[in-house]
Structure 1
Amino acid sequence: MTVDHPDLPQVVTRLRAAGCVFAEDEAALLLAAGADGGDLDALVTRRVEGEPLEQVLGWAEFCGIRFAVEPGVFVPRQRTRLLVREAVALTSPGDVVVDLCCGTGAVGVAVAAAAGPVELHAADVDPAAVRCARRNVTGAVHLGDLFDALPAGLRGRVDVLVANAPYVPTEAIALMPPEARDHEARAALDGGADGLDVQRRVAAGAPAWLAPGGALLIETSGRQAAGTLAAVTRAGLAGRVVVDEELAGTVVVAVRA
């Protein structure tokens, strides 16, 4: 991205000094935000101090769609496009789709946009995430802990259940980039001692909510894929691991018989 603006060199210099790898591109986006009425100096200062660019701008692009992102809310990662791709392959128009641990709601919205009209529900335990998702999701967004958030009428009716549940081991959070560690809700990151606590709960609860032939898709890591697969297998689902090296993404796909 290129832009002709008298403040560009100064902004780029500040961003580079702060360690921003893509300083030129980020500077162009921040300058555009300033031109749209934002306080440029304040925006640049927030970025230099380590706030994620998407939270500073107030939006993130994911799967070709622009999503509102509020401070403290988990920013959609590009590797999660694998989760969307695999879910779209299993979704038909009219299906019931549920996005658990939805954050901004990006995964569910992207699936619905690609697969055709669906009955979309999203849920998150974080009130800030739910507020943000309600800006992005055309459908119902529910506040609560995993399946406790969902209307009882969805039980046994869900065709596709996607979950980008937290899977960072607790001790590894301290090693994450400050953008995530310091500016995203801990509940969106912390997966317990081995990173799989929430995934196990999702897998255990999913069969009661899935329709016959319904699918559960969980984003995980290459290192944790075996554990995620074991969790869905224990729940009685037939699972497989999908890896995309280019996206650095790993997803476990599990189907109810």
Structure 2
Amino acid sequence: MTDPVARLRAAGCVWAEDEAALLESAAADAAELEVLVVRRVAGEPLETVLGWVEFLGRRLVVVPGVFVPRRRTELLARMTRREVAARNGRPVVVELCCGVGPVAASLDTDAELHVADVSEVALACARTNVPAAAAHLGDLYDALPSRLRGRIDVLAANAPYVPTDRIADMPPEARDHEPRTALDGGADGVDLHRRIAAGAAGWLVPGGVLLVETSPGQAGLTIAALEAAGLTAGVEVDQDIGGCVVVGRLTRTAGERA
């Protein structure tokens, strides 16, 4: 086969040498390497070509047709860790819109873990990445067993937040290879955040926390959604990785209003 580095560079891969080395290490022989290079040159994300993505020092399984975790989501994972560590006993932790389960997979804890997503393909990856978690297929809270109502201590969500009309501007590896349901957040990108916020009080314990990944430009809208649902909200940003997470705390019992 012709030089993989040259082919990757010609296809627009900025880190062609590094990518070629990873593909070569993943291939059993020259024929398999050719298949992998062809897939990458065609625009498939490097992570799904390799079959894994590195997230907080761990390799998580990813396959074609799933949303590939970004480094910015490490902030959401670190904040979830912090909130879980602050709890006594065996807290109940849920990752909504979990995709391949990066947040839950990052937890070194004996917490009761749950992951939920609308994608069977992504949920299959999450089952592999977080074998200790109970996996639930469905749309947001509809996926969760009713016994979790009022029992969740920490609820983390990286729900889609790309405004619909901005999807066309995304890199081809995202817009052409990741499911639209994992990207499209509605007209202003906050539709899913509003739905998650609206139901949170019924699922969290008093003092429970909701953590929602968003963008700095949308944080105000996400905060407004959580406050409208009766949560006390704030925001945390990690500029080094581009992470932005809105934090909402339930300070009243479900159903109460100020």
Question: For the superposition of Structure 1 and Structure 2, which TM-score range results when normalised by the shorter chain?
Answer: over 0.9
Is 1:161 aligned to residue 155 of structure 2?
A: yes
Superposition TM-score, scaled by structure 1 size: 0.93
Partner in structure 2 of residue 256 of structure 1: 250
Assess, with a 3 A threshold, how the Cα gap between structure 1 residues 205 and 37 changes in structure 2: closer, same or farther.
Answer: farther
Partner in structure 2 of residue 140 of structure 1: 134
Decide whether the 8 Å contact of 2:155 with 2:211 is kept in 1.
yes
Within a 5 Å distance, the mapping from 1:190-229 to structure 2 comes to 190-229=184-223
Q: CA deviation at 1:30?
A: 0.2
Assess, with a 3 A threshold, how the Cα gap between structure 1 residues 37 and 68 changes in structure 2: closer, same or farther.
Answer: farther
Paired with 1:236 and 1:37, the residues of 2 have a C-alpha distance of 59
Assess, with a 3 A threshold, how the Cα gap between structure 1 residues 95 and 36 changes in structure 2: closer, same or farther.
Answer: farther
Is 1:16 aligned to residue 9 of structure 2?
A: yes
**Residue deviations 1:72-118 (CA, integer Å, cap 9, x gap):** 100000000111111111113621110000000111111x22xx211
**Residue deviations 1:180-199 (CA, integer Å, cap 9, x gap):** 10111110000000000011
Q: CA deviation at 1:37?
A: 9.1
Quick check: 85-94 or 46-55, which moved more? 85-94
Corresponding residue to 1:131 among 124, 127, 130: 124
Q: CA deviation at 1:35?
A: 3.1
Assess, with a 3 A threshold, how the Cα gap between structure 1 residues 24 and 67 changes in structure 2: closer, same or farther.
Answer: same
Aligned residues: 247
Over the matched positions of the two proteins, sequence identity in percent amounts to 61
Decide whether the 8 Å contact of 2:77 with 2:102 is kept in 1.
no
Instruction: Give 5+ residue unaligned stretches, structure 1.
Output: 1-6
Paired with 2:63 and 2:149, the residues of 1 have a C-alpha distance of 31
Corresponding residue to 1:231 among 225, 231, 234: 225
Superposition TM-score, scaled by structure 2 size: 0.93
Q: CA deviation at 1:245?
A: 0.7
Amino acid in the other structure paired with 2:199: G
Paired with 1:209 and 1:23, the residues of 2 have a C-alpha distance of 46
Partner in structure 1 of residue 179 of structure 2: 185
Corresponding residue to 1:58 among 33, 47, 51: 51
